[in-house]
Amino acid sequence: MLTKKWPKHSILAIAIIATWLKTYIAYQTGFSITLDNGMQEAILLLSPLSLLLFLYGLSLFFKKTKNKNRYLLAMTLVTSIILYGNIAFYRFFNDFITLPVLFQTENFGDLGTSAAASIYPTDILYFSDFILLLLAVKLLKIKEENTKSQATARKAYFVLSAAILFLNLGLAEAERPQLLTRSFDREMLVKNLGIYNYHLYDIYVQSKSQAQRAFADGSELTDVQNYVRANKVEPSEDMFGIAKGKNLIVVTLESMQTFTMNKEMNGQIITPFLNELTEDEDTVYFPNFYHQTGLGKTSDSEFLLENSLYPLSGGAVFFTHGGNTYNSMAEKLGKQGYATNVQHANSKSFWNRDMMYESLGVDEFLDIQNYTVGEGEAVNWGMKDIPFFEQSVAHMAEMPQPFYSRLITLTNHYPFTLDPQDKLIDEFDSNSGTLNRFFQTTRYLDEAVKELFDDLKEQGLYENSIIVMYGDHYGISENHNEAMAQYLGKEITPYESAQLQRVPFFVHIPGSGQGHVNEEIGGQIDMRPTILNLMGVESNTDMQFGSDLFSEEHEEFAIFRDGRFITKEYVYAGNTCYENGTGAAIDQELCAPFAERAFEELGYSEKVINGDLLRFYDEETGQLLGTEQ
Ligand code: GP9
Ligand code: MN
């Protein structure tokens, strides 16, 4: 075999095949990547190939065989280091490397110790392609051929590698629509794009946001501050400080929409417990409250809650600006002596939460690793809400008080599947299985919240806590308008569609006697100032775009992330101005001044995020800092 002459591009072919297979095997052994179907398996297999073909193929431009081989050896070494770096990092952090991790100097200590602690002798196998290539270069005899058809062959080669890239992206898009615009999860990026392409994508996302940050010097804040100041309102005297010193529990109700509240579906009540709460003497319920999320879905709602800033129009701000300076509600309560944490039974890297929570100053993030998922306790995306609440409350019982604890539910998530024993009502009977099942999972979520209240009482945490709950975003998109029209008994016009963006908002303060249904129009941007005022924490010099829903001066104006908006008189949607209440199309001019303000407000918020402007702002005094911190 060693005496025989091998075809000309053998070394290149060996390099590509060896790295490709090694990478694929590493995916299966070095990471715990979950694969749900054959398509995902196929994408995973295909994913390393396009970049390897391209990168290794560049060797075709070298004239001398010696240089070609050197280049290929260098590249197999580089890709091996990238892959192995991720494997070692994953062993310790259960996550993939992202650029900011490498640049955050405080991580170096962690990285160093973790790398040392997670190296095994067998790890040499992660360099097997490099070793194989080294042997091949030394031992194989390669035929010298004429070079006539080289340019055309090279062109064909790169066309093929581009075709494979597009095939990969196409399959990934089919499997996970909007993967590149929304990012979702690093694991999802890696399994759909391949580890090498993932790093290129990460470099692109991070450098884009770094470039915008680099050009900002803080002067941009003056206009923003003037706008924010002009819209400040005085807190309600009755409500300010009403929950001072209590534990704060904020529950994110996954995909919960207001249209299910106080309604029946084929004679069955969808949300019995939450309906009861709307009449409870200690609960304020807001039926005219709107979500303001964009592509970042749940994470956008968290962003609104913590910062009272709008999320971005493109991508998830948790991903694109996870390293910014913020002045979050968690950080503020932390300064008041609160222990702050988030509990969510999903992988910690989803929505880049692990990194973003550090920027938000959250003390502790209890992710799936902190839960025991027993037999039959998982469905759909992960742990069921009922056992999740039970274990979360047990965690709370161990926490120092007062605490600020956020609980993010998961069961009422697309595609809304449930085990038979958790289906407490029947399915709906429309042409949309999604909507049909949505009623059942919403009913389950309602049951879970009821149990949460019981768990809190059992653990003796209920009396001394305030419980805030909000729907994060719609569960039923416009793709299901026909089925929705059947349920609601009316056509889904752009006006109706905007009204369907209502999500429930509850403020439950045990023993307060303040319960009522509050018809005020508001949005998620208002949660932070509303909650902080209830907790008796001043926020009047904070750079926040929302305002206290309990304030007399609160303006009824909910701006959606896509520019639609709702006021008491008007609804602006589908480029049409509607009269709020009747849904009649009216003169555009009536909406025009609000449309302008919506545009202005979203723009200011975006400026703060893109320029990382809060690093130039002292929220204690309301002073702009001239120089970078
Ligand atoms: C993921 C969960 C759901 O951890 O919060 O996210 P979503 O898809 O609703 O944004
Ligand atoms: Mn969600």
Confidence tier at 629 by pLDDT (50, 70, 90): very low
- Let me know: does 205 contact 319? Beta carbons within 8 Å: yes
What pLDDT is recorded for position 143?
79
The average pLDDT across 455-463 equals 98
- Give the Å distance between the CA of 354 and the centre of ligand 1: 14
Average pLDDT over residues 211-233: 93
Which residues contact ligand 1 via a Cβ below 6 A? Answer: 297-298, 346, 350, 408, 410, 413
Q: Residue 546: which pLDDT band, with cuts at 50, 70 and 90?
A: very high
- CB of 255 closer than 8 Å to CB of 415: no
In whole angstroms, what is the distance from residue 342 CA to residue 327 CA? 17
298 is known as an active-site residue: yes
Reading phi first (left if > 0) and then psi (alpha if -120 to 50, else beta), residue 266 is in left
Using pLDDT thresholds of 50, 70 and 90, give the confidence band for residue 371. very high
DSSP string, 17-74: HHHHHHHHHHHHHHS-----SHHHHHHHHHTTHHHHHHHHHGGGG-SSHHHHHHHHHH
Of 410, 445, 473, the one to substitute when testing ligand 1's pocket (max ligand atoms within 8 A of C-beta) is 410
Q: Per-residue pLDDT averaged across 318-336, rounded? A: 96
Mean pLDDT of 606-617: 96
360: CA distance to ligand 1 center in Å? 18
Q: Using CA positions, which residue lies closest to atom 1 of ligand 1? A: 350
> Which ligand has the minimum distance to the alpha carbon of residue 184?
1
CA of 562 from ligand 1 middle (Å) equals 20
Distance 474 CA to ligand 2 centre (A): 8
Alpha carbon nearest to ligand 1 atom 5, residue: 298
**Residue with CA at minimum distance from ligand 1 atom 3:** 298
Neighbours of ion ligand 2 (CB under 5 A): 254, 297-298, 472
Q: Which ligand is nearest to the CA of 346?
A: 1
Chain segment 190-207, per-residue pLDDT in tens: 999 999 999 999 999 888
Instruction: Tell whether the model's pLDDT for residue 628 goes beyond 50.
Output: no
pLDDT, the chain, mean: 93
The preferred substitution site among 347, 351, 388, 474 for testing ligand 1, maximizing ligand atoms within 8 Å of CB, is 351
Examine the pLDDT at 105 and tell me if it is beyond 80.
no
| 373-421: pLDDT as tens digits | 999 999 988 899 999 999 999 999 999 999 999 999 999 999 999 999 9
Find tokens 């009403």 and name the residue: 242
**Given the residues 98, 298, 409, 411, the one annotated as active site:** 298
Report, as an integer, the average pLDDT of 248-277.
98
The alpha carbon of 417 and the centre of ligand 1 are apart by a number of angstroms equal to: 15
State mean pLDDT over 504-520.
98
pLDDT of residue 112: 62
Confidence of residue 506 (pLDDT cuts 50, 70, 90): very high
